[in-house]
Chains A and B, each alone.
Chain A
């Protein structure tokens, strides 16, 4: 195994492009090192991106959008008051990952690029319309976060490509986001279902919404029917029931050790309602602390 710690993304890209065998980027390492030790994946090339300047930065841009360095750990997101105020759903989703120890290392980028259908932060990033800058042999391109995972353990990144920054759009007025996951325990578990809602209000009425689901299909789902079910409503019971039905209808889950098809389908709808209520309350200016499960 060869270990590299390049000083720029261009160099990181070059090393990855030239490498043969299995390549892994080392962000927090909470997937990479665990898989290495468990003899699941032993990379031939390991490229540590934490020495690249700027990878630890959280920046609020002039237009109110945010740029996140690819090595920012979950704990730092959670301690950034401005980011928490703007995007509590994205932050709470990332903060659900692992334990205090894991939070000190684990990153949004790693969670995304590991390609797990159950990754907690990914539905929240998708609901928030986040994008990524991808650096490759031909320079930079901007990609929707939603388009990066393509299946369990797979991404759309080509050989030599890596994520060099994450972007969150400006929050704007009267808007809120939230994420909940279902796990049988209270923490230290993998989502059986995850759901994120991001919405904007005009008065009491929902005028924009994005609803996404995790762990119910090979990749994160952006459920447009579920968003349509609440747009134009005041999130009354009928709208919530339509939301739940649309969320359940979108599920394409599997039976596995973590849950059954029926269970995941049913609970996706239950979570969608609960998450939408939190996002709605946040859009109204209520402060609601992160939830666990």
Chain B
């Protein structure tokens, strides 16, 4: 749905690069993160975790821990609501979350919480855990997605599959998605070359710097306060209330500053546990995860096993595409199989396409969103095959992508027709970029890839209040995970016509603003931005009313220009412009405080595409890869604050480099996670990365007043494929399994002879 009042040029504030409002606090250490909260009489919590991948919990004896003087409460599953009901698939998501934050009958993965303690110090709590006795009956486990689908695989939980799964599949397959159009068999028959191949990716973690942390207070009266590090405090409020069996409104949740989330902080892990401990101890309880707990027991992304088949004509025309995607999402439904399937072929206009996704459970932690959940792995598989088709047919990879690119009006592989989109523009920009024609050194290879993400709208509320001196405060409900306060202030400044510095944007708590969906789906600058613009326009309407009243003319004879009310035309009367601050100065006497509001679920998020170009160098003797040059080209619709848009582009590429080259969850035969610290979970360090160049393409999104599309997630869609194509070119062998770690590359080189 296009907005009739789309503004795409002549901006005064939008598109500038002022300092972020939270910048000083963050560089001076004054910003308060999750673990920075303290309360009088506060206790420290610690969580006992299963060392087993799969085990029945026969008995938990907490008596020795409870006997300690420093221990004030011990909780197990019995201390949570018994009203939360199990249901298949995602229907019973509260039950799934409850089961994940505190095990019931079975421990389902290494690291699964089984009990928790609150004590007078963090050390005392940690030591008390050692006195809790748990008797386990160890069960067979499975951590690999393909093995979990085999007939003899241990069943994680009977009855978890929903209606979408056909009869006869293993009970670990809990959801299935199938979509497409045309006749793929006929399409393959038309092709001059058909390539069919198999690809895998490993689970990776978002790797946010800040571990989960919270401070919880829940009184006997059922009223609670929760301070926590989250991407969305209303979902925390709703979920915790359900899990604790209290009314939502009785729990007030405040979001701390956040040290990264990338999707991993869109759900709860420790918050309900801290609340349960607080309720039992009748004291505030602080819980802070260690890094090892973060790896073992929060939500990494899904791992994937994928089969891709694509047909191409000699001239590069794609004739058909088919993909089967198996996503491993841990011991619960929710692996993003449908997103993987739907994103896989979205960049291309295809007459014949079919995609199938399976959501598969294993004995691993419950996956969580990670930047465009499901899309990067799909792009890896699909874009690798397209690269191989281009190689074998001797075609230019950019020209082939341009030839087949989705455009306005294309029927998307996943169903709808695309509106105004920017894929072609990113490809044209890639073609024109000096990177694409720069010479490569021996041992280097170049790869490109496109990527796609839907973007999201979601429930949104914003309030904007004017002060007597003409400054403005904006209350938004989406935690600032990427500089969004700066973008909100710029958009409000644009509408109100007052300086950026005179606008303070606050992330309001759950008690002071209406419901807001999480900061996810690249929705914040789009949805909270749209709501901020609308709230500011609402305030402007009231400002115009006051001017009309003062001038004694009808309100429709007044318009708003450069921060002033002015007569809308010569016939409206001859009045001097009335600045905002002159109206607010005595607003108490002219009708009361002036505020603007907006609440809605905007649905015009506008999909987004990117094209990445990567040069990689492979040491043929050790298999070690260095990314030597990287260019991100992505459609932002409209870059409100270009620096923070570039930051999102670079961040996605940096995380993609880690995912492609060295990051992986490594499980032992015993089903235990082997590498739960940053030493062995090999996220890139600064010196591993080249400067990541960015190009912002702007094809306005008709669904946002200023044309914004979300940019946070699309940036991680192309990297896996672009890097794999570059590494495959450099090494001279096709790399089909991520991560492309040195041992894997070296053995591929050896196998190739």
**Residues of chain A having any CB pair with chain B under 8 Å:** 38-39, 182, 184-190, 192, 256-260, 262-263, 266-267, 270, 292-293
Contacts and interface: CB of A to CB of B under 8 A. Distances in A.
A184 B621 contact: no
Residue of A39, A184, A185, A257 with highest tally of chain B CB at under 10 A: A184
A38 B293 CA distance: 11
Contacts of A192: 742
21 contacts: A38-B290, A38-B292, A182-B622, A182-B742, A184-B624, A184-B741, A185-B685, A185-B688, A186-B685, A187-B687, A188-B679, A188-B685, A189-B682, A192-B742, A258-B680, A259-B742, A262-B743, A263-B623, A263-B743, A263-B746, A292-B687
Given A38-B292, A267-B622, A270-B622, A184 B679 contact: no
A182 B624 contact: yes
A184 B619 CA distance: 11
Contact of B682 (A38, A185, A293): A185
A105 B743 CA distance: 32
Given A38-B292, A182-B622, A257 B680 contact: yes
Interface in B484-506: none
Given A38-B292, A267-B622, A184 B682 contact: yes
A267 B682 CA distance: 19
Interface string B658-688: 0001100010000000110101101011011
Nearest to B621: A270
The secondary structure that dominates the A interface is loop
Interface string B214-240: 000000000000000000000000000
B629 interface: no
The secondary structure that dominates the B interface is loop
A269 to B, nearest CB: 9
Nearest to B624: A184
B743 A260 contact: yes
Contacts of B586: none
A182 B680 CA distance: 14
A17 B684 CA distance: 44
A259 B743 contact: yes
Given A182-B624, A260-B743, A39 B682 contact: no
A38 B126 CA distance: 11
A264 B292 CA distance: 27
Given A182-B622, A267-B622, A270-B622, A190 B743 contact: no
B126 A39 contact: yes
B474 to A, nearest CB: 39
A270 B662 CA distance: 21
Nearest to B675: A257
A189 B679 contact: yes
A224 B194 CA distance: 55
Which 10 A-B residue pairs are closest in the complex by CB-CB distance? A263-B743, A186-B687, A257-B674, A270-B621, A257-B666, A260-B743, A257-B675, A184-B662, A186-B688, A188-B685
Contacts of A187: 685, 687
Nearest to B687: A186
Residue of B290, B680, B743 with highest tally of chain A CB at under 10 A: B743
B19 interface: no
B747 interface: yes
Given A184-B661, A257-B680, A263-B742, 6 more contacts: A38-B677, A182-B624, A184-B624, A184-B741, A266-B746, A270-B621
Contacts of A263: 623, 742-743, 746-747
Nearest to B623: A263
A111 B666 CA distance: 27
Nearest to A261: B743
Nearest to B292: A38
Give the interface size bracket for B toward A: 20 to 34
A190 B679 contact: yes
Contacts, number: 58
A86 B726 CA distance: 42
A251 B371 CA distance: 42
A184 B742 CA distance: 7
A3 to B, nearest CB: 16
A204 B675 CA distance: 46
A211 B679 CA distance: 27
A182 B746 CA distance: 13
Nearest to A260: B743
A256 B743 CA distance: 11
Nearest to B746: A263
Interface in B626-665: 661-662
Residue of A189, A192, A263, A266 with highest tally of chain B CB at under 10 A: A263
A9 B624 CA distance: 45
Interface string B609-630: 0000000000001111000000
Contacts of A190: 679-680
Interface string B175-186: 000000000000
Contacts of B679: 188-190
Contacts of A257: 666, 674-675, 680
A39 B292 CA distance: 11
Contacts of B622: 182, 267, 270
A68 B688 CA distance: 33
A257 B688 CA distance: 20
B116 to A, nearest CB: 16
A190 B662 CA distance: 14
Interface string B126-164: 100000000000000000000000000000000000000
Nearest to B129: A39
A179 B679 CA distance: 21
A185 B746 CA distance: 16
Interface in B686-715: 687-688
A189 to B, nearest CB: 7
Contacts of B680: 190, 257-258
A256 B672 CA distance: 13
A262 B741 CA distance: 14
B660 to A, nearest CB: 12
A258 B290 CA distance: 22
Nearest to B739: A184
A236 B139 CA distance: 58
A188 B684 CA distance: 10
A104 to B, nearest CB: 18
Contacts of A260: 743, 747
Contacts of A293: 624
Contacts of B682: 184-185, 189
Nearest to B680: A257
B468 to A, nearest CB: 50
Contacts of A186: 685, 687-688
A260 B746 CA distance: 11
A186 B742 CA distance: 13
A144 to B, nearest CB: 29
A270 B749 CA distance: 15
